[in-house]
Amino acid sequence: MPSPSHSARTLLPLLAIMALIAGAGVAAWWFNSPREYAVVYVQIPRYRSILDGADSEPWDEYRRRRGDYKSLLVSPLVIDAALTRPEMATLRQSGERQALQEWLRQSIAAVFPNDGELMQISLPVGHLDADQSIQMLDAVATSFHEKVALRVRLDRAALMIDFKTVVDDMKNRLEAQLKDLHKMESAPPPADATAIAFLKERCSLERKLLGECELQLLTFHLANELDDRSGRSGRYPADAPQILQRAAMARH
């Protein structure tokens, strides 16, 4: 008959193996079981030409911009703005702000399903309960939306300034060419007919191009005016991200 000490030595390894199997089962259940997330969807449109509305942004540049937006989403600029929103006052008081900021930066995830223009932003339930997670994700999405919309407006304004500079340079160049043409035509004979004809043709082309550019500049002004009116009415430029719906719970 085995001694008690021998039985204990035999039983202990068996118990250890059973504990490992049970632990592995619990871990597998934890990792494979569905988890709750707050999810919000944001449309990230490709930049359209301000002149004709065509899809003018190359896909490589668009994908790079999407990557920049994903980084911006979890940046202190957006997270801090979200936490300072009035609706976050109660949530700010419920925990230490710095720890909450760090948790948000580590936990918020963004993906583009099917490599499209729709960005799915998610926040797991855990540190915050379901209602708080929805509220927090809504605040983050709104702050992100506002920051990017502002950037779109600033980029468009800078582009308009650059374009106006080009138009002004064209005007000055055309005026100088017209003065040269007048001098050549007013000069005493013999006149250089070939040079005069060449300069006339050049001035004609420059005048036509200037007219087209002035029309484009007017389009820029109108687009900026529409953006300003949209901002005053609570809307945003067409190129800015658009939140498609408020955050909601999902399991995956």
Calpha distance 118→120 (Å, rounded): 6
Strands 118-124 vs 109-111: parallel, antiparallel or unpaired: antiparallel
Helix (H, G, I), strand (E, B) or coil at 80: helix
How remote is the C-alpha of 74 from its chain's centroid? Answer: 12
pLDDT values of the chain reduced to their tens digit, one per residue, 252 residues: 555 555 545 555 555 555 555 554 444 433 444 478 899 999 998 876 655 555 567 889 889 999 999 999 999 999 999 988 887 777 655 557 778 888 889 999 999 999 999 999 999 987 788 888 899 999 999 999 988 878 777 777 787 888 888 889 999 999 999 999 888 888 888 878 888 899 999 999 999 998 988 888 887 777 777 666 655 444 445 567 788 888 888 876
* 8 Å CB contact between 249 and 131: no
In this structure, how many other beta carbons lie within 10 angstroms of the beta carbon of residue 237?
22
Question: What pTM does this model have?
Answer: 0.63
Closest by CA to 36, choosing from 143, 138, 142, 132, is: 132
Q: Which of 172, 163, 153 is nearest to 228 (CA)?
A: 153
Q: How far apart are CA 190 and CA 33, in angstroms?
A: 95
- pLDDT digits over 190-199, tens only? 878 888 899 9
Peptide bond into 86 cis (omega under 30): no
- In whole angstroms, how far apart are CA 96 and each of 139, 152, 155, 183? 18, 34, 36, 78
Contacting residues for 147 by C-beta, under 8 A, at least 6 apart: 72, 77, 78, 81
pLDDT at 110: 94
pLDDT, tens digit, 9 for 90 and up, residues 11-36:
555 555 555 555 544 444 334 444 78
Token pair 């308009």 is at which residue?
Answer: 160
Give 159's DSSP letter. Answer: H
* Residue 218 DSSP SS3: helix
